[in-house]
Chains A and B, each alone.
Chain A
Amino acid sequence: MQDQNLCAAENRGVKELGGEHVGWDEVTQGIVLTSFNGDATGIVHQKAEERHYSDFNSYTASVASWRVEKPVFNIDVCIDCQNCWVWCPDTSIISRDKQMLGIDYDHCKGCAVCVEVCPTNPKSLLMFSEQTALDTALAAWPEKKKKEDK
C-alpha cells in the first residue's frame, strides 16, 4: 500500500558522507563540493528522482544510522495538511502535489517533530522503534480519541 522508496534515485542512500578514502591530491580544492553532476540550470523544476546528484550531495548520502526511533506514516488517517513537510528539519517528508507519500528513511534522524505537529486524530505519524516492521506498526495504530466532555 505505501511505497517508502518513491523518490529514491539510483545511487541514493548508499554511502555515508565523507566515507570515501581518497588521497590528498584527489580531494577538492577548498572542500568545495558540487551538488549535481553537470549543468544544474532549471533543476529546481525537476523532481528529486530526475536530478543528477553528485556523490557529494547530502541527498546521495545516508544518515539513517543516527536514528533510534522512526516515524511511521499512516496514509489512511492523513489529511494532507503538509504540516510535517513544513516542519521537518531534514526535508525527509516526501510530498508530491501536496499529497503526503511517505518518509525518506535515508535522511530522517528520528527527531519526532513531524509527530508533534501532526494535527489529526489519531495522529497520522507516530514514532516506533527502528526495528518495528511497517505492517506491525500500522496494525498497532490507535483508535480515534473521543473528545472529553467539558
Chain B
Amino acid sequence: MAEKFDIQDREVWDGNYAASQALRQARVDVVAAYPITPSTPIVENYGAYVANGYVDGEFVMVESEHAAMSGCVGASAAGGRVATATSSQGFALMAEVLYQASGMRLPIVLTVVNRALASPLNVRGDHADMYMGRDSGWIQMDAFNSQEAYDLTLCAFKIGEDHAVRLPVMVHQDGFITSHTAQNVYPLQDDKAYDFIGDFKPVDDLLDFSRPVTYGAQTEEDWHFEHKAKQHKALMDSRPVIDAVFEEFEKLTGRKYNRVESYNMEDAEVVIVALGTTVETAIVAAQQLREEEGIKAGVVAIRCFRPFPFDQVREALKGAKSIAVLDRSSPGGAMGAFFNEVSAALYTTDTRPLVTNYIYGLGGRDFSIDEAKRIFKEQKAHADAGYITTDIQQFSGLRGPKLGYFQTQRG
C-alpha cells in the first residue's frame, strides 16, 4: 500500500506538478515515458513518487517516445490504468502509436505540454503539436492554467475509462507559461480524488486468461472503414459523457468546465476565439476595452478540441459581428487549422459573422494584453464597416514588414 502524500487544501504548483499529482492520485498502474522539455517534470515527479513509495505503479524507462506510447498501449491492453506525458518532438515521435491507442480503444491519459515543432529547434510553447494530434482519434482537452491542468487530468481518466467511451484522452497545457509558472492550486485530498475517478475497470484485458483476445488485427478493405466509423461514433458520442463528468466535478469542487467556454458573450459584438493561456490574456483585454472604450468585447475558448464542439461553437458565436480566430501554430500553407474549424462551424449559421485569422505567439513569442486589444479594435473596425477591412490572415507580433494573406470584399 502506498504511503500517504501530504497535500494542503491550497498549494502553489506549476502545471507540470499539478499534472503529476493528478497521475499520483489516480493511482496509475503504469507510466512509460521518455521525458522531453517542457513536460519533463511530470514524469520526473511521478518517478519520484514511485521511488519514495507514494504510488504502487510501475515506471517504465524506455528508449524513445515511440516506445513510451507503445509501452502504454501494451500496459493498457493488458488491463492497467496507464498515463504518460510528452511535448513537441516527442509527441511527433509518438504519432504513429497514438493511432494504435485510439484504434484499439485504450483509455490512456496523455498530458501534452504544448511546444513548437522543429525546425528551427525551439523548446518554447506553441500549439503545433496539439494540432498535429487532432486527427489521431484521441479526446483532446485544453487547460489554460495549473488548476485546470490538475482538474482536467483527473477528469480525463473518468472520461476515457467510461465504458461508453473507452478512448484515450490528451490534456494539453501551454509549454512554460502554464507548465513552469507556479500558481495557487486547490487540489482534492487523495481519497476524494480517487473516489471521483473510481477503480479502473478493464475491458478485453490481455491478462484475463479465461478469455484470450487478439489486439491489433489487420483488417484491409473488408473491415477498416467500418472500424474507423465506429471509432468516430465513439468519439462523437463521448460528448454527453464529458458533460456529465464536468458536472460531477462541479458538484465535487465548485469548479465548472464546459466544452466551449464563453466570457462576456451575452452582448459581445467583437470576439477573440483562442486556446490555452491566451484566453486569460484576451479576457483581461476584453474587460479593459469594455471599461475604457465601451467596446463590447467577448472571448470564446475551446476547452474540448476533440470531439470538436461544432454546435456549441455556433451557439456561442451566434450574436457576434466580427470574430478573430487565433492560431498559435504555423499555418503551413493554408489558413490556420483552428481558423478553418471555427469558420466551418460559422459557415452553417444564418448570421455568418466576419471571421479573420491571426497567427501569433509561435515558438513562445509573448502575447500581450495590448496585442489582444489591438486585435479587438480591428474587429471593431470590421464590425462597423460591415466587411473585413484587413487581410483575412495576419501575422501578429511578427518582426519585419507586415505579413498577411488574402484580401476580402470591399463594401
A residues in contact (CB < 8 Å) with B: 18-27, 29-36, 39-41, 43, 56
Interface pair A30/B204, CB less than 8 Å apart: yes
Beyond A30-B104, A32-B213, A35-B214, list 20 extra A-B contacts (CB 8 Å).
A18-B218, A18-B219, A24-B229, A27-B223, A29-B105, A29-B203, A30-B105, A30-B106, A30-B204, A30-B215, A31-B104, A31-B215, A34-B214, A35-B213, A36-B211, A36-B212, A39-B211, A41-B210, A43-B212, A56-B217
Within 8 A of A (CB), among B196-232: 203-204, 209-220, 222-223, 225-227, 229-230
A32 touches B227 (CB 8 A): no
What are the residues of chain A within 8 A of B204 when measuring CB–CB?
29-30, 32, 34
Contact string, B142-168, partner A, CB cutoff 8 A, digits 1/0? 000000000000000000000000100
B99 vs chain A, min Cβ distance (A): 12
Answer whether A22 and B212 are a contact pair too, CB < 8 Å, given A30-B106, A31-B103, A31-B219: no
B215 touches A32 (CB 8 A): yes
Min CB distance B337 to A, Å, is 27
* Cβ contacts under 8 Å, A22 to chain B: 223, 226
Inter-subunit contact B105/A27 (CB<8 Å): no
Residues on the A chain within 8 Å of B212, using CB: 34-36, 40, 43
**Structural contact, A24 and B226, CB atoms closer than 8 A:** yes
For the complex, give the distance between the alpha carbons of A24 and B166 in Å: 17
List A contacts of B255 (CB < 8 A).
Answer: none
* B102-128 interface bits toward A, Cβ cutoff 8 Å, 1 = contact, 0 = none: 011110000000000000000000000
Q: List 16 A-B contacts (CB under 8 A).
A: A21-B222, A22-B226, A24-B226, A24-B229, A24-B230, A29-B203, A30-B106, A31-B103, A31-B217, A32-B214, A34-B211, A34-B213, A39-B210, A40-B211, A41-B209, A56-B214
B233 at the interface (CB under 8 A from A): yes
**Distance in Å from the Cβ of A148 to the closest Cβ of chain B?**
48
CB distance from B62 to the nearest CB of A (A): 23
> Is there contact, CB below 8 Å, between A29 and B230?
yes
Q: Which of A20, A30, A39, A43 contacts B103 (CB 8 A)?
A: A30
Residue numbers in B under 8 Å from A43 (CB-CB) = 212
CA distance A72 to B372 in the complex (A): 78
> With a CB–CB cut-off of 8 A, which chain B residues contact A19?
222
Given known A30-B204, A40-B211, contact A24–B233 (CB-CB < 8 A):
yes
- Bound-state Cα–Cα, A22 to B224, Å: 11
